[in-house]
């Protein structure tokens, strides 16, 4: 039987960095494989094999395709080489009597050369273990490193990715239909795209051919062991095999990029953070870019199908219209509701997008299993929804259909694909770090730094005064309730019970603690203390206290000025800003050392929405860092420090992981999570 009766390419393209993508159709006309990798010409879809400038080949120039399964790349066909890696010929043994006494050997299935293209060759264990090497592949005539005969660990990893159930994984790996397999070919779905064929084996004791149409039997590197699937069940089974048994060979190598299943879910604050979830040269897509993507693929009614993977591994039925023609690899990653609950795994795919205006900045793009549509919404959705995130390159040199790689802030590597004139990251992000640091608790400053005439704030801003904070507290209902409205919710940055925390206006007060006048650090997660400046020079050390144990905000309290407290910057709101709702985001604040901070409108003021982590005065002078306790205690000049002298308490590039539902619901800062808080979904 000709190989093309088993599978063929439909929507096949080659890209940069030697990445080949294919859609596989089995003998029944059912699409079964998700993605193949190889090398060839740049550019268009639906090219023929003759158009390739470089495909994956063995020593004999037989051509192969590959399927990406988890973090592995598997050869889709059984091996058919007659030479080892160094060019040494492998003996072809045809007679049964010679087979059972031979050293290294191969043969055709049923000794029929016509079976070679479809079923590959059968090799005994001596050929598998030969010092000459069997797993040899080249691209463009150059050997490609990393290919190997699968180890026991490789098979274990494959099974784990296919659900970890040896009793079901065989069905997910077998080719479908009954043209090759004996009835009933139970449970065959080929969800993996591995397309195992019933090539059978050659007996180590009689030299007879057996099990064709019944079993796929594949070697591992463990002496005397292989792995088999059969027609009568859905199992994947480790099998004891004699060294002279003739079995098929599949080869495997580790992906050059990180495998991402569904990626992480992010709230809008993480995606919109000034610390930047995207590496240099990339950005979170805009609503307009999603509209352009949809338009390029033929409009809303059909684009979704072209963007969705069609494998049952990532979508529930019916997965209407899915072809993944654009190789966008859209998967049913679900989402996290703003109440912290998880919904829609394998049913819906949602990504954050920048809207057309600040009012609608938290927009989104979505795909669904029940429709071929793709939807881009320019609307303002809850910032506490947990959606997937993709990136677009600022400027690409690729043409449509070409591929490359993207490396994230935490070092993970992702595939990319150019669709039209846009280069997209072709997986959901699993990013755990920002490009730059984000404020955690900020620095602690003594009063001398807060009041220094050189100015901690940049032009147009001021350290909050007693009048500023009193106005803020009055607006929020007074000292007896304002503390709760200022505190960030949850227990990430506050001790239990964090009474009454609602963070109504996005002030994001965290339990940043203090440095005592003795130089000792205290009260982390328990209190947040802000220096406030007074027109009365006698009140040189006034500060406000917010704490974890109640909703009360303390009034201005005088200190010696040596205590280390947090600082906030504030300015008067413009006329236009005063029309915004309290809690609305305003333009970022840029400090003297060029750190950027989110800001929020509250009443007639705009406040920096985190504690300051400023290291310079307005004239460019450094703010003195003092770590020694005794030196701190004796100060009568300006100074700053990190809590516990640990810089990680001041700034971090980590995107915080938040699992608790209540904490997630009240967040006004960036956060990430796995679907269902299950890391295996990432």
Q: Are the beta carbons of 669 and 269 closer than 8 angstroms?
A: yes
DSSP letter for each residue of 487-506: BPPSSSSS-TT-TT---TTS
Mean pLDDT of 653-661: 94
pLDDT digits (tens, 9 = 90+) for 147-179: 999 998 899 888 888 877 888 889 999 999 999
Residues 6+ apart with CB under 8 A from 460: 571
Please give the Cα distance from 526 to 546 (Å, whole number): 9
Please give the Cα distance from 403 to 329 (Å, whole number): 13
Residue 42 has pLDDT above 70, yes or no: no
Return the number of other C-beta atoms located less than 10 Å from residue 99's C-beta: 25
Return the number of other C-beta atoms located less than 10 Å from residue 57's C-beta: 20
Nearest to 562 by CA among 580, 579, 584, 540: 540
Residue 263 has pLDDT above 80, yes or no: yes
Lowest-confidence segment of 449-453, 518-522, 537-541 by average pLDDT? 537-541
Instruction: Provide the 8-state DSSP code for 193.
Output: S
Q: Are the beta carbons of 476 and 547 closer than 8 angstroms?
A: no
Give the confidence band of 466 by pLDDT, cuts at 50, 70, 90. confident
Instruction: Provide the 8-state DSSP code for 115.
Output: G
Q: Which residues pair with 515 in a beta bridge?
A: 521, 564
Please give the Cα distance from 66 to 76 (Å, whole number): 5
pLDDT digits (tens, 9 = 90+) for 659-681: 999 889 988 889 999 999 999 89
Give the three-class secondary structure for 4. helix
Q: Are the beta carbons of 191 and 170 closer than 8 angstroms?
A: no
pLDDT digits (tens, 9 = 90+) for 280-293: 999 999 999 999 99
Whether the model pTM is above 0.85: no
Please give the Cα distance from 351 to 375 (Å, whole number): 10
pLDDT digits (tens, 9 = 90+) for 314-337: 899 999 999 888 989 999 999 999
Domain map of the chain by residue range? 51-254, 265-432+672-681, 439-651
How many angstroms separate the Cα of 179 from the Cα of each of 72, 78, 172, 176? 29, 18, 18, 9
Residue 190 has pLDDT above 80, yes or no: yes
Place of tokens 């999603």: 290
Give the confidence band of 8 by pLDDT, cuts at 50, 70, 90. very low
Residues 6+ apart with CB under 8 A from 5: 27, 179
Residue 273 has pLDDT above 60, yes or no: yes
Whole-number pLDDT of residue 54: 44
Please give the Cα distance from 543 to 540 (Å, whole number): 10
The structure tokens listed for 296 are: 């390029």
The structure tokens listed for 253 are: 């190598």
Please give the Cα distance from 2 to 625 (Å, whole number): 75
pLDDT digits (tens, 9 = 90+) for 205-262: 999 999 999 999 999 998 778 899 999 999 988 888 889 999 999 999 987 667 788 9
Whole-number pLDDT of residue 554: 62
Segment (H or E) for 154:
helix 152-161
Mean pLDDT of 597-605: 95
What angle, rounded to 10 degrees, do the helices at 300-307 and 287-296 form? 90
Residue 380 has pLDDT above 50, yes or no: yes
DSSP letter for each residue of 478-489: -TTTHHHHHBPP
């Amino acid at each position: 039987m000709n190989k093309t009766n088993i599978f063929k390419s439909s929507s096949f393209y080659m890209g940069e960095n030697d990445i080949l993508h294919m859609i596989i159709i089995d003998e029944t006309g059912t699409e079964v494989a998700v993605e193949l990798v190889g090398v060839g010409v740049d550019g268009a879809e639906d090219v023929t094999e003759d158009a390739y400038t470089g495909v994956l080949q063995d020593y004999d120039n037989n051509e192969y395709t590959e399927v990406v399964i988890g973090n592995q790349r598997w050869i889709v066909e059984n091996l058919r080489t007659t030479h080892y890696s160094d060019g040494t010929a492998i003996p072809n043994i045809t007679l049964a009597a010679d087979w059972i006494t031979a050293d290294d050997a191969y043969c055709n299935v049923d000794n029929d050369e016509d079976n070679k293209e479809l079923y590959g060759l059968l090799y005994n264990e001596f050929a598998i273990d030969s010092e000459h090497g069997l797993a040899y592949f080249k691209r463009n005539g150059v050997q490609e490193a990393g290919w190997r005969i699968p180890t026991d660990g490789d098979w274990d990893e494959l099974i784990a990715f296919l659900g970890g159930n040896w009793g079901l994984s065989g069905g997910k790996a077998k080719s479908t239909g009954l043209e090759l397999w004996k009835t009933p070919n139970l449970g065959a779905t080929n969800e993996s795209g591995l397309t195992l064929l019933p090539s059978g084996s050659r007996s180590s004791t009689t030299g007879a051919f057996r099990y064709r149409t019944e079993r796929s039997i594949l070697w591992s590197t463990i002496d005397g062991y292989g792995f088999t699937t059969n027609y009568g069940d859905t199992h994947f089974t480790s099998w004891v095999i004699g060294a002279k048994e003739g079995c098929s060979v599949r080869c495997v190598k580790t992906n050059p990029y990180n495998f991402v299943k569904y990626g992480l879910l992010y709230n809008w604050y993480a995606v919109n953070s000034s610390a930047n979830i995207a590496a240099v040269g990339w950005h979170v897509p805009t609503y307009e870019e999603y509209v352009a993507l949809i338009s390029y693929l033929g409009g809303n009614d059909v684009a979704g199908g072209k963007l969705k993977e069609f494998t049952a591994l990532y979508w529930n039925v019916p997965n209407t219209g899915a072809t993944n023609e654009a190789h966008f690899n859209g998967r049913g990653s679900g989402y996290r509701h703003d109440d912290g609950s998880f919904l829609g795994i394998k049913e819906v795919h949602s990504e954050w997008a920048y809207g057309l205006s600040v009012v609608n900045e938290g927009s989104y793009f979505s795909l669904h299993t029940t429709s071929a549509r793709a939807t881009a919404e320019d609307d303002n959705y809850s910032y506490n929804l947990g959606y997937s995130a993709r990136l677009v390159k600022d400027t690409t040199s690729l043409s449509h259909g070409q591929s490359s790689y993207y490396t994230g802030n935490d070092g993970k590597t992702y595939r990319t694909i150019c669709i039209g004139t846009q280069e997209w990251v072709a997986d959901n992000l699993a990013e755990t770090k920002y490009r730059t640091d984000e404020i955690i608790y900020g620095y602690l400053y003594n009063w001398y730094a807060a009041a220094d005439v050189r100015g901690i704030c940049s032009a147009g801003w001021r350290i909050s005064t007693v009048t500023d904070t009193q106005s803020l507290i009055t607006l929020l209902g007074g000292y007896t309730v304002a503390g709760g409205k200022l505190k960030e919710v949850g227990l990430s940055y506050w001790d239990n019970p964090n009474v009454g925390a609602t963070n109504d206006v996005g002030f994001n007060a965290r339990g940043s603690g203090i440095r005592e006048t003795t130089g000792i650090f205290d009260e982390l997660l328990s209190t947040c203390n802000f220096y406030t400046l007074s027109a009365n020079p006698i009140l040189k050390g006034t500060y406000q206290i917010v704490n974890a144990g109640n909703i009360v905000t303390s009034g201005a309290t005088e200190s010696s000025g040596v205590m280390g407290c947090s600082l906030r910057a504030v300015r008067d709101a413009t006329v236009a800003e005063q029309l915004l709702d309290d809690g609305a985001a305003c333009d970022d604040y840029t400090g003297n050392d060029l750190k950027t901070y989110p800001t929020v409108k509250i009443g007639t003021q705009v406040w920096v929405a985190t504690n300051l982590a400023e290291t310079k005065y307005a004239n460019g002078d450094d703010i003195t860092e003092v770590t020694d306790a005794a030196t701190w205690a004796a100060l009568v000049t300006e100074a700053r420090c990190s809590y516990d002298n640990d810089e990680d308490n001041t700034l971090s590039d980590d995107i915080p992981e938040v699992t608790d539902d209540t904490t997630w619901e009240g967040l006004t800062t960036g956060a990430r999570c796995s679907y269902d808080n299950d890391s295996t979904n990432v």
